[in-house]
Structure 1
Amino acid sequence: MTVARPALDPELRELLADMPQMTRLSPEVLAQLRQYPSTPVESLLAHRSVGRREVTIPAPDGVSIRMSVFSPAGTDDRTAGAPCIYWMHGGGMVMGDRFSQIDIPLEWLDEFGAVVVSVDYRLAPEATGTALVDDCYQGLLWIAEHADELGIDPARIVVAGASAGGGLAAGATLLARDLGTPAIAAQMLICPMLDHRNTSTSSRQYSGGPGVWTREMNEFGWHAVLGDRPDEVSSYISPALADDLSGLPTTYIDTGSAEVFRDEDTDYATRIWAAGGQAELHVWAGGFHGFDALYPQAHISATARRTRTDWLARLLHRNEGA
């Protein structure tokens, strides 16, 4: 039976028509995709006055975690007290690196003088279970412990990510709540990958496409992380499983009406409200998964990105000097 789908935004539909469509992933296709060069971050920094620092921190199991720190140039790192955006990249938990979608948080470096820290968490299937979110949490601890050195205000750390990175941001935030540290001012979850069950109406609607992430690709990504789906799946890697969403920092969630993650994302916001928390939810009519990262020039994309920035402006102004 054909499942009806919300229509794509007309401008996005035209742009997407020119892009080769892929609806499934396999180990062979993944190997090919991983051979593509990472985002040329140097070109993004060329017109900015930005300092860049590469650091390596140890995971509890001894694996090294790489992180990139981008800071506004010309500031006194010891006294700046800047906000911090801690960024987790997308890629279905199986691809991408710390420079993927980095143009998104770099806009907030420009706008707010924020220090941007991006983490190279381990990828599945080489890493499985909670290893990915554990890496992200270790990076968060490092940021909090080095706040003075980084020139950031520890009361204005925002955990953010897109797609798989959005899910990992949610998981790291749950870990920080449950372990009691560090303090997080907010979480920004951009079309987050939150639920390994892959059974929602929107998941079924986008079996076979259109868009850049289908139900079948989602299934591949989750299987890479969880293997044969053991009975016990941690809510830190699949945050939709969390029984309790109380006590979370203020949350921003956005998604498209025409994508796999629509329903799990709207449900997460609803459950935060039900637990007495604060969440802002935007469902962009006709948006497919990752539309604003892939086609930032589209009108709907520019609007979505500006809306996030406006929300951050309200948040950071409210928390300044807190």
Structure 2
Amino acid sequence: MITTASRPGVDPQLAALLAEMPLTSILNADALAHMRPFSSAPVEPLLAGRLIDRSEFITRADDGAEIALSVFRPTGDRTALAPCIYWIHGGGMIMGDRVANIDIPLEWLDRFGAVVVSVEYRLAPEAHGPTLVEDCYRGLLWTAEHADALGIDPSRIIVAGASAGGGLAAGVTLLARDRGTVPIAAQILICPMLDHRNSTTSSRQFTGVPAVWTGETNEFAWRLVLGDQPEDVSAYISPALAEDLSNLPTTYIDVGTAEVFRDEDVDYASRIWAAGGQAELHVWAGGVHGFDLGFPETRIGAIARRARIEWLTRTLDGMSAERGGRQ
């Protein structure tokens, strides 16, 4: 019989680093208020010494709320249109900002000359339900509408995000498909937060134990996101509910074995395959939630980041070959 005490072990290098952190299994309103100011890091040190131009823009949601977007572009000649990484930050949909974990897409800017657009969506509990994913979608529409001015190739817009941002990226991709708007070329879902039900085996395995993100913290975050309508949940905010995963762009999903989101992420990839789509899935043995976000210096973190770059290389090369074949 499998019990919640039976769980995959943590990579030894990660375990040694985690042992030095004050991990807990519980998150509450007081702890959230304390954590929010520290849930991101200054972007300036990441930009220092790099040939990157940063611009700030504002678009508006349907209710008039401002949605800020940061645009990062390689400095220099922009005669050729570049691929775009539309980045959605993590933080459980309850903390973080548009420069959280921006080091990941900035690596892709360096490698591929991509334009990175990062969106500042509203957070729960101040905003609820689909408002968060609609903010992200509005930012995507703005990006597509201004593609020429930003030097973006509209046929190579890639939606990407980590953790909650990965779940929102999946929701944005579903919205764009269902509304027939922006033709998203690919999606990259890094340990995505996809299912509000919090009922998988991996959710139970990592409940009641200190961890980076636990079953309890997951339940707390979703409770803030869903507000007073927990029974009327949109598949765009909880993409695991989507009945139809056909006609999605090529997808990259990765996750660790030692984390809450493992099973919902594996299931999402499996359902994309069942619908005839293409998805590449990496399940990293011993990986905890966000292991390569917080610990890129570890061997497993470096390998995970490198695997994404290799997939992006193949994907962008395939797009170039397809475009060349149409000319």
TM-score range, shorter chain: over 0.9
Are residue 314 (structure 1) and residue 314 (structure 2) matched? yes
Match of 2:222 in 1: 222
**Which deviations, in whole Å up to 9, do the C-alpha atoms of 1:189-239 show, x marking residues without a partner?**
000000000000000000033431000000011000112443221000000
- Of 47, 50, 60, 2:49 maps to 47
The one-letter code matched in structure 1 to 2:169 is A
State how far apart, in whole Å, the 2-side matches of 1:194 and 1:128 are.
16
**Which deviations, in whole Å up to 9, do the C-alpha atoms of 1:65-100 show, x marking residues without a partner?**
001000000122xx3210100000000000000010
Match of 1:11 in 2: 13
Structure 1 spans left out of the alignment, 5+ residues: none
Match of 1:117 in 2: 117
Counterpart contact for 1:223–1:229, Cα < 8 Å: no
Match of 2:236 in 1: 236
**Deviation of the 1:272 alpha carbon:** 0.2
State how far apart, in whole Å, the 2-side matches of 1:297 and 1:95 are.
24
The one-letter code matched in structure 2 to 1:7 is G
Counterpart contact for 2:83–2:153, Cα < 8 Å: yes
**Deviation of the 1:47 alpha carbon:** 2.1
Match of 1:291 in 2: 291
State how far apart, in whole Å, the 2-side matches of 1:144 and 1:318 are.
21
State how far apart, in whole Å, the 2-side matches of 1:150 and 1:264 are.
35
Counterpart contact for 2:39–2:96, Cα < 8 Å: no
Match of 1:305 in 2: 305
Structure 2 spans left out of the alignment, 5+ residues: none
Give structure 1 regions of 4+ aligned residues with deviation exceeding 3 angstroms: none
**Deviation of the 1:40 alpha carbon:** 1.1
**Which deviations, in whole Å up to 9, do the C-alpha atoms of 1:253-289 show, x marking residues without a partner?**
0000000000000000000000000000000000000
Kindly report the root-mean-square deviation, in angstroms, between the aligned alpha carbons of the 2 structures: 1.1
- Aligned residue-pair number: 320
State how far apart, in whole Å, the 2-side matches of 1:287 and 1:281 are.
14
State how far apart, in whole Å, the 2-side matches of 1:35 and 1:312 are.
32
Q: How is 1:143-222 mapped onto 2 (pairs within 5 angstroms)?
A: 143-222=143-222
